Amino acid sequence: MPQVKIVARNFMDMVASLPVMKLDMLYDNSFICEAILRSLPPLAKKYVLQMLYIDIPITAKSMEEWVLPDGFSKHKVAIDRLIQLRVMTETFDSGILPREPMPSNITVRLPSLEELEAYAVEQWELMDTNAQLWYIIREYITNAEERGVDSADLIAFLLELSFHVTGKAYNTNTITDLQRSIIKDLSDLGLIKLQQGRKESWFIPTKLATNLSISLADTTSRKQIVSFLQQNAHPRVAERIPSVPENVTDQIRLWESDLNRVEMEPAHFYDEFPSKDVFEAACDFAREYGGLLWEDSKRMRLVVKADILTEMKEFLRQIAITADVFLNSDWEKDLPEDPSGRFDDFKDFVDSNSDICQWIALLCVLTQGCCILLATILRTLGQVKENSHEYEGEYAEPSAPLLRPPELPPNPLYPYVIGEPVHIEPHSVYKNV
Amino acid sequence: MTPVSSKLYADDVSLLMVLVDTNPYFWSSMKNTAFTFPKFISHVLAFLNSILLLNQMNQVVVIATGYNSCDYVFDSSTSSMQRAECLLEKLEDFVDKDESLSQEDSVDGIGFSLLSGSLSMALCYIQRVFRSGPLHPQPRILCLHGSPDGPGQYVAVMNSIFSAQRSMVPIDSCVIGSQHSAFLQQASYITGGVYLKPQVSDGLFQYLSTVFATDLHSRSFLQLPRPVGVDFRASCFCHKNTIDMGFICSVCLSIFCKHHKKCSTCGSNFGEARKQDPSASDQRTSDGS
């Protein structure tokens, strides 16, 4: 079973997974407080606001009374998120007073545009390079029209660029004037490097440029699809609230989380096994090496990880020869020519002493048979001994299966669950920090 | 460079139109209580700032409802007004101007503020937003109202309510005066908004942040105050009195407290029709027409 990984899809998921100390330090900055507040689910925002001046712990039960039965799951998500981000902490003793309310300083002032910009830059520094790059490129693309550049041309060129080879110099004569102007901007972003020769100039794509297609690939996020639907809705549909029905947005959300559940891994597919035994042996071998991804015993097909490809090849070659020896009467023809003639000598020796060889083979089989018999007897004896401890008349507990399937966590379809789910005791008490 | 607002849309975005009652006669009547106009404004400012904080796409527009006039005093979409405190200056100008207008005629009692005017202005603003932008701004109107209902505005207020209902704009009402407002009860009831009369006006911010900060998206999940009793009584068109029983015109449904020979709204003649068929054109209406 492949491991299911939960990746931080955005900045706030990453913030939520920070260690407690670091998270508390972040709250010293009012811009981060503001950004975190704005990133919360709508209900959570609402709760923060209405609990701003409540300085005593509130019981979880009384908070549940704020919501209608329909909104209970959203309530749960909101509360979980608030606890995750340590905006609220859970206490089990209602006597403890909470700490100073977190967002009290953020109602005081809103940042100026310059401050926001500085904040935005800081935020980019916290993200991985591809996401940062994507943000910049997206802004670049959306502003393209204002600069008189067709955004379609720009995207096409960027995509084209991602197919160039990293570190190789390309002559700027091969590109159009428009693309030459784009290239200047891109060199500022570090996507390419410009090299000036005596007569001609060259551009060298960096790794950022060639990775661009990776960051372009995660454009299809749920939010973008839904906002597209909302913005392009028929005027009559747009009047409805919500303009995109909830079941549609839910389905898109499920689809998105399903996309994130799938992990890509290079693998090899095998089929057309000559017999069931060969297939099963191959399966066992792959399992032993921890490389078995999928098997279909009915149609004898098998997918293994690319890591164990060489081992698998070797094994299959051996097994193929063995099978050939047993099944094919003319198997000697399949063997390669032996220039030394030793193989023929060996064969003659076996032929001339066939009686003794047959006896040796028989002896091997008999020994193995005896071992199996002995093992069965020993096992039965052991079981009798265990059972003698049980009281008569009571049912013996069914013995546990040798291999218990591991208890799998439920599918992480829910988008807000990151890491360990937080369990809320029914009598627990919240307070705002 | 624009900020990293990668999302173009959020579930909980809202366009909040706040109608603030600045009727000087009402607020001078509140001077003896603990809840004065400066206190009220400080609660409202904190509330407006928290709305702006919750979502970068939230927009707040404040319309002052005066005694003689009403005007926009704050719009968060204009770049010069990032903080709700910016409204103070304009509000002061507005109150001065409004007061100077009212010196001409004397007023007995608290008087009425121009609710119908500010409601219409809010609806016009929302219509403009509807027609200009591609996004649905999820608008709602919040009336912070203290003055009693002005019977003279009955028809205009009802028209605004029906217009809000048609464009699916909820009207929330927070009544800060001593009496309930039948106009606002009906407005909130018809448009699906929330009507609330805080028991403790000192804690206005808590009421505002708990009930009226709820965006339209979250309203389907949260317990909010439900209408207990709505005063559905209508006012007559002739004397603007609230009536339990009256006459309605069978042509245009205008309401009158007494029998008239001719409908003042549509001009239909009742007298002659009554002679021919007494039951046809004149009907008695009962409570809750």
- pLDDT the model gives residue A330: 67
Give chain B positions within 8 Å (CB) of A226.
Answer: 9
Share of chain A above pLDDT 70, in %: 57
In A, minimum Cα distance to B136 occurs at A238
Chain B neighbors of A123, CB-CB under 8 A:
4
pTM metric for this prediction: 0.53
Q: Please tell me the predicted confidence (pLDDT) of residue A411.
A: 44
Provide DSSP, A273-320: -SSHHHHHHHHHHHHHTT-EEEEETTTTEEEEEGGGHHHHHHHHHHHH
Give me the pLDDT at residue A208, please: 65
Q: How far is the CA of A184 from the CAs of A121, A131, A163, A351, in angstroms?
A: 21, 22, 19, 81
Query: A138, B6: Cβ pair inside 8 Å?
Result: yes
Contact residues, chain A, for B11 at CB < 8 Å: 42, 242
Nearest to B4 among A106, A120, A241 (CB): A120
Q: Which residues, in sequence order, are bridge partners of residue B74?
A: B62
Q: Is the pLDDT assigned to residue B129 strictly greater than 80?
A: yes
How many Å lie between the alpha carbon of A221 and the closest alpha carbon of chain B? Answer: 10
β-pairing verdict for A192-196 and A201-205: antiparallel
What DSSP state is assigned to residue B108?
-
Q: Is A344 helix (H, G, I), strand (E, B) or coil?
A: helix
B1–A139: do the CB atoms touch at under 8 Å?
yes
Strands of the sheet containing A58-59, edge to edge, are A58-59, A429-432, A88-91
Which class would CATH give A267-336?
Answer: alpha beta
The answer to whether the CB atoms of A46 and B218 lie below 8 A apart is yes
Torsion of CA A221, A223, A225, A227, to 10 degrees: -160
**Mean pLDDT value across residues B40-52:** 92
pLDDT of residue B44: 93
Contact at 8 Å (CB) between A422 and A84?
yes
Minimum-distance CB partner of B50 among A49, A119, A239: A49
Task: Compute the nearest-CA separation of B221 from chain A (Å).
Answer: 4
**Residue numbers of chain A with a pLDDT score lower than 70:** 1-19, 22, 26, 29-32, 92-135, 137-139, 141-142, 145, 150-156, 158-160, 162-168, 207-224, 260-263, 327-339, 383-433
Token pair, residue B190, equals 């018809």
Q: Parse chain B into domains and list their residue ranges.
A: 15-220, 234-285
Which of B15, B48, B53, B196 best tests the A interface by mutation, with the highest count of A CBs <10 A? B53
How does the average pLDDT of chain A come out, rounded?
Answer: 69
pLDDT surpasses 70 at B120: yes
φ, ψ for residue A64, nearest 5 deg: -65, -25
Alpha helices (H) in B103-198, listed in sequence order? 115-132, 154-166, 182-191
For chain B, the first-to-last Cα distance in angstroms comes to: 58
Burial A83-115 (b: 16+ CB within 10 A, else e): bbbbbbbbeeeeeeebeebbbeebbeebbeeee
Across the interface, do B54 and A38 touch by the CB < 8 Å criterion? Answer: yes
Q: Please state, in angstroms and rounded to a whole number, the distance separating the CA atoms of residues B168 and B162.
A: 10
Cβ atoms within 10 A of the Cβ of A432, count?
A: 23
- Best of B42, B50, B86, B138 to substitute, by most chain A Cβ atoms within 10 angstroms, is B50
**Strand partners for A89:** A431
Of A110, A123, A227, the CB nearest to B52: A110
Residues of B in contact with A112 (CB under 8 A): 82
| A86-143 confidence digits (pLDDT tens) | 777 777 654 333 333 444 444 434 444 445 445 444 544 464 455 566 667 666 766 7
| A128 touches A14 (CB < 8 A) | no
Q: Which residues of A touch B135 (CB under 8 A)?
A: 230-231
Measure in Å the smallest separation between the Cα of B137 and chain A Cα atoms: 10
**CA nearest to A252, candidates A221, A218, A228:** A221
∠ CA A151-A156-A160, rounded to 5°: 145
The closest CB to that of A123, out of B4, B7, B134, belongs to B4
Nearest 10 degrees: CA dihedral of B210, B216, B221, B227? 70
Angstrom distance (rounded) from CA B42 to CA B203? 12
Asked if B221 lies within 8 A of A43 by C-beta distance, the reply is: yes
Q: What is the pLDDT of residues B136-154, one digit of tens each?
A: 788 999 999 999 888 888 8
| Cβ-based neighbour number of residue A339 at 10 Å | 7
Q: Which residues of A touch B82 (CB under 8 A)?
A: 110, 112
For residue A123, the distance in angstroms to the closest alpha carbon of chain B comes to 9
Residue carrying the six token digits 């002679």 = B275
In chain A, what is the straight-line distance between the N-terminal and C-terminal CA atoms, in Å? 41
Closest CA to B5 of B55, B49, B52: B55
Q: How confident is the model at residue B279 (pLDDT cuts 50, 70, 90)?
A: very low
Sequence-separated (6 or more) residues with CB below 8 Å from residue A213: A159, A162, A163
Residue type present at position A66: W
The shortest CB-CB distance from A116 to any of B3, B206, B213 is to B3
Q: What is the pLDDT of residue A102?
A: 44
Partner-chain residue, chosen from A71, A119, A138, that has the shortest CB–CB distance to B221: A71
Task: Please give the DSSP secondary-structure letter assigned to residue B281.
Answer: S
Q: For the packed helices A129-142 and A151-162, what is the interaxial angle rounded to 10 degrees? A: 150
What is the β-pairing status of strands B242-243 and B246-249?
unpaired
* Burial (0-12, 13-18, 19+ Cβ within 10 Å), A117: middle
- pLDDT, tens digit, 9 for 90 and up, residues A316-355: 888 777 777 776 666 666 666 666 777 778 878 888 888 8
CB atoms within 10 A of CB B152: 13
Strands, E assignment, B107-251: 139-145, 171-175, 195-196, 234-235, 242-243, 246-249
CB atoms within 10 A of CB B272: 10
Indicate if the pLDDT at residue B217 is higher than 80: yes
Yes or no, beta carbons of B46 and A107 under 8 Å apart: yes
Task: Give residue B63's pLDDT.
Answer: 95
Residue B4: its chain A contacts at CB < 8 A?
120, 123-124, 135
Is residue B131 exposed (0-12), middle (13-18) or buried (19+ Cβ within 10 Å)? exposed
Q: In the numeric block, which tokens belong to residue B250?
A: 């069978």
Give the model's pLDDT for residue A207: 64
Rg (CA), chain A: 34
Sign of CA dihedral A280, A283, A287, A292: negative
Distance CA A408, CA A105 (A): 44
The enclosing H or E element of B74 equals strand B70-75
> What residue ranges of chain A are covered by domains with CATH 1.10.10?
128-216
pLDDT surpasses 60 at B204 = yes
Torsional sign, CA A317, A319, A322, A323: negative
B contact set with A (CB within 8 A): 1-4, 6-12, 46, 49-50, 52-56, 82-83, 134-136, 138, 168, 205-206, 209-210, 213-218, 220-223
Give B209's contacts in chain A (Cβ within 8 Å): 49-50, 52
CB atoms A110 and B138 under 8 Å = no
pLDDT at A166: 64
* pLDDT tens digits, one per residue of B248-264: 988 888 888 888 888 88
State the average pLDDT over residues B197-202.
86
Distance (Å) from the alpha carbon of B65 to chain A's nearest alpha carbon: 26
Contact (CB<8Å) B54/A45:
yes
B122 pLDDT more than 90: yes
CA distance B281 to B285: 12
Q: How far off is chain B from A104, nearest CA to CA, in Å?
A: 11
Which of A11, A45, A74, A134 is the mutation pick for testing B, counting most B CBs within 10 A?
Answer: A45
| Nearest-by-CA chain A residue for B56 | A38
- Do the Cβ atoms of B63 and B20 come closer than 8 Å? yes
CB atoms within 10 A of CB A181: 12
CB contact under 8 A, A227 and B8: yes
Instruction: Decide if domain B15-220 falls under CATH 3.40.50.410.
Output: yes
Check A67 against B220: CB less than 8 A apart. no
Residues of chain B above pLDDT 70, percent: 86
> A-B interface: how many C-beta pairs under 8 angstroms?
107
Q: How close, in Å, is residue B46 to chain A by CA atoms?
A: 7
Of the candidates B120, B121, B95, B74, which has an alpha carbon nearest to the alpha carbon of residue B21?
B95
CATH architecture of A128-216: Orthogonal Bundle (1.10)
Mutation target vs B (from A37, A50, A54; most B CBs, 10 A cutoff): A50
* Nearest residue to B156 via CA among B61, B72, B65: B65
Return the pLDDT at A299: 85
Partner-chain residue, chosen from A45, A75, A243, that has the shortest CB–CB distance to B12: A45
B221 closest CB neighbour out of A34, A74, A227: A74
Crossing angle (nearest 10°) for helices B37-54 and B87-102: 140
Q: DSSP label at B62?
A: E
